[in-house]
């Protein structure tokens, strides 16, 4: 079992991306590496970040004599306790996390770790993401479906908002953010993943390509990922929609589509 102190020489890794963009696939790939423990979604940092992001909470803590930096320090200590322990129990010397909701709190997470953290971002064609989101009844689309907005429109607007946050945070992370396109990951996986592991300073291991031959803990993630035996392409599903609907959806998020080089 690895010593927790030995882990602290390795920067933690956060996988960031919109829901249905391949974050679960990346999580299992990273968790397959002999040095990296990447559990199912941790989730709890959403609530933890809420303390720091709530002005009233900070004012109350400051009135008790705690500075913002002290709050961040305690948040980091609380967070790393669980991740270091998890990695140690797996006999690994580094931890990573993938929780799509953390896109909404990336700046707080970065402040919490004082910039000593790396990010792997993943983006997928917005129409494929919207198509996939429409197959689920998740609460994440409810705010976008007010006033009778159709689900595909709501889904592509959600994709736009989440990926705009990714674009802006990538600028702030200043070279600590490595972006992967889902389409490249699923068509030329070894080329893409070699670059990713080189970026995080980990040796290449062929076995990460056979991610589901490894044991992974169960938890919150895409349930379909357990049925994959290998990395395979899953793009263009949106083409079942009419050309008129595709064009309408594209125009809803044209700026982000063009930023990432996506077309229809």
pLDDT digits (tens, 9 = 90+) for 61-91: 999 999 999 999 999 999 999 999 999 999 9
Please, are residues 15 and 102 in contact by the beta-carbon 8 Å criterion?
no
- Bridging pattern class, strands 13-16 and 94-98: parallel
Q: What is the mean pLDDT of residues 131-140?
A: 89
Q: Kindly indicate the confidence band of residue 1, based on its pLDDT and cuts at 50, 70 and 90.
A: very low
The C-alpha atoms of residue 148 and residue 32 are separated, in whole angstroms, by: 43
Q: Look at 113-127, 143-157, 190-204, 241-255 and tell me which has the smallest mean pLDDT.
A: 143-157
**For the whole model, what pTM was predicted?**
0.92
Q: Kindly indicate the confidence band of residue 136, based on its pLDDT and cuts at 50, 70 and 90.
A: confident
Question: 98 - beta bridge partners?
Answer: 15
Radius of gyration of the chain from its Cα atoms, rounded to whole angstroms: 19
The C-alpha atoms of residue 62 and residue 67 are separated, in whole angstroms, by: 6
Burial zone of 25 (CB within 10 Å; 0-12 exposed, 13-18 middle, 19+ buried): buried
Q: Kindly indicate the confidence band of residue 236, based on its pLDDT and cuts at 50, 70 and 90.
A: very high
Q: What is the pLDDT of residue 8?
A: 53
The C-alpha atoms of residue 248 and residue 253 are separated, in whole angstroms, by: 9
Q: What is the pLDDT of residue 212?
A: 87
The C-alpha atoms of residue 153 and residue 141 are separated, in whole angstroms, by: 10
Q: In 3D, which of 56, 170, 46, 171 has the Cα closest to residue 108? A: 46
Q: Is residue 7's pLDDT more than 70?
A: no
Q: What is the pLDDT of residue 5?
A: 46
- Between CA 145 and CA 152, with CA 150 as vertex, the angle to 5 degrees is 100
For residues 105 and 222, which has the higher predicted lDDT (pLDDT)?
A: 105
Q: What is the mean pLDDT of the chain?
A: 93
Query: Domains in the chain, please, with CATH?
Result: 4-126+174-232 (3.40.50.300)
């Amino acid at each position: 079992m690895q010593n927790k102190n030995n882990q602290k020489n390795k920067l933690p890794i956060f996988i960031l991306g919109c829901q249905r963009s391949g974050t679960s696939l990346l999580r299992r790939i990273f968790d397959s590496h002999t040095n990296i423990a990447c559990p199912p979604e941790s989730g709890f940092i959403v609530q933890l970040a809420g303390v720091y992001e709530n002005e009233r909470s900070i004012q109350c803590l400051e009135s008790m004599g705690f500075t913002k930096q002290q709050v961040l320090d305690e948040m980091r200590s609380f967070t790393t306790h669980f991740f270091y322990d998890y990695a140690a129990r797996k006999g690994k010397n580094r931890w990573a996390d993938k929780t799509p909701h953390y896109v909404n709190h990336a700046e707080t997470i970065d402040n919490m770790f004082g910039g000593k953290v790396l990010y792997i971002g993943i983006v997928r064609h917005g129409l494929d993401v919207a198509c996939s989101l429409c197959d689920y009844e998740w609460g994440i689309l409810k705010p976008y479906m007010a006033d009778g907005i159709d689900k595909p429109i709501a889904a592509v607007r959600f994709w736009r908002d989440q990926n705009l946050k990714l674009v802006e945070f990538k600028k702030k992370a200043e070279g600590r953010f490595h972006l992967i396109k889902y389409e490249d990951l699923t068509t030329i996986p070894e080329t893409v993943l070699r670059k990713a592991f080189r970026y995080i300073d980990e040796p290449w291991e062929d076995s990460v390509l056979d991610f589901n031959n490894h044991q992974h803990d169960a938890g919150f993630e895409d349930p379909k990922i357990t049925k994959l035996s290998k990395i395979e392409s899953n793009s263009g599903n949106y083409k079942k929609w009419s050309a008129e609907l595709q064009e309408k959806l594209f125009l809803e998020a044209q700026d982000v589509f063009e930023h990432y080089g996506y077309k229809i």
